[in-house]
Amino acid sequence: MDSIKRVLLVNNEKDDDIDLLKSILSQLSFGYIEASSYQEAMEHLGKSVFEMVLIDINNEELNGFRISEIVKENVSDYIPTIAIVTKDKLKSLNDKLQTFTFDDFFRKPFSENVLKLRFSSYMKLKVYHDALYNSKNKLEEELENYKNFSLEVLKAISMGIILYNRKGRIVFENEASKEIIGECINSSINDLFLSKRFLTGKTADFDFLDDRFEDSLYLVTTEGRYIEVKKMGMIKGSRLNFGAVVINELNPEKFSQKADHKSLKSFLKSF
């Protein structure tokens, strides 16, 4: 849009008030385009973007109320529509002005100072609205980025996570872990993966309380879920000492490439 404010003036009267209106628009550097009929107004609205529309509603042939409706219906941006009306017509049109979409009305005869003040106020309001509109678009864009980011995070935390203390007691499990292998809070971490929750089990020397990192376990739950269990090692601190296990659900094809069926044999021997 041009830096000069663009106003559509829909009017087919020539009088001192209209001349004053045009003069004020020029003084304020509000470039304007005139339309002397409804059809001409529609053509201008179809080709150009305006920051304000002034419509003379004294002459019914201009169909000014309909022009205002169309501006409000078809433009997502805020475009003030202002009715120009004579004092003697104002009373008869007042009810209609209240129910239609005009933002305001300018009553003839005009006061130069009042017109300048009201033009400036509407343009400030326009700038304020545009800033809000741009902020809204930026916020929607940021929300969309956040949504995409959140989907990635959700994808990442779809893995089960279990924390256990130095005695091997499970002290935390996330919702994904509960979904994949069932609730196991307060269970022994070493006993958990030898339990009847799984159709395969680990070898006896896989000790979750060992400080060292270990290879992954590949297990099948009794519900038919194929999972990879990865010990992340013990976390040691001055007051904290706990371990973490990550449980990742696999598709059957990937699981068959990884699973050690010896663990199943070892597991079955214990029964």
Domain definitions of the chain by residue range: 5-149, 157-269
pLDDT at 205: 53
Tokens of 33: 């385009």
pLDDT tens for the chain, 271 residues: list them: 444 558 999 998 888 989 999 998 888 888 899 999 999 999 998 888 888 899 988 888 888 888 888 888 866 667 888 888 887 777 777 667 766 678 888 888 888 888 888 888 888 887 887 788 788 778 777 777 666 655 555 555 678 888 888 888 998 888 889 989 999 999 998 888 778 888 765 444 567 777 665 567 788 888 888 888 888 766 555 455 678 888 888 887 766 666 554 444 444 444 3
pLDDT at 265: 43
- What separation in angstroms does the CA of 183 have from each of 27, 137, 153? 76, 44, 23
Helix (H) or strand (E) holding 133: helix 112-156
How far apart are alpha carbons 152 and 17 in whole angstroms?
A: 63
Decide if 5-149 and 157-269 have a common fold: no
How far apart are alpha carbons 221 and 197 in whole angstroms?
A: 6
pLDDT at 187: 92
Buried b (16+ CB within 10 A) or exposed e, 242-259: bbbbbbebbeeeebeeeb
What superfamily does domain 5-149 belong to in CATH?
Response regulator (3.40.50.2300)
How far apart are alpha carbons 42 and 50 in whole angstroms?
A: 12
What superfamily does domain 157-269 belong to in CATH?
PAS domain (3.30.450.20)
CB–CB of 209/190 below 8 Å?
A: yes
pLDDT at 264: 45
Strand partners, 183: none
pLDDT at 150: 57
Tell me how many helices (H) and strands (E) the chain has: 9, 10
pLDDT at 271: 37
pLDDT at 85: 86
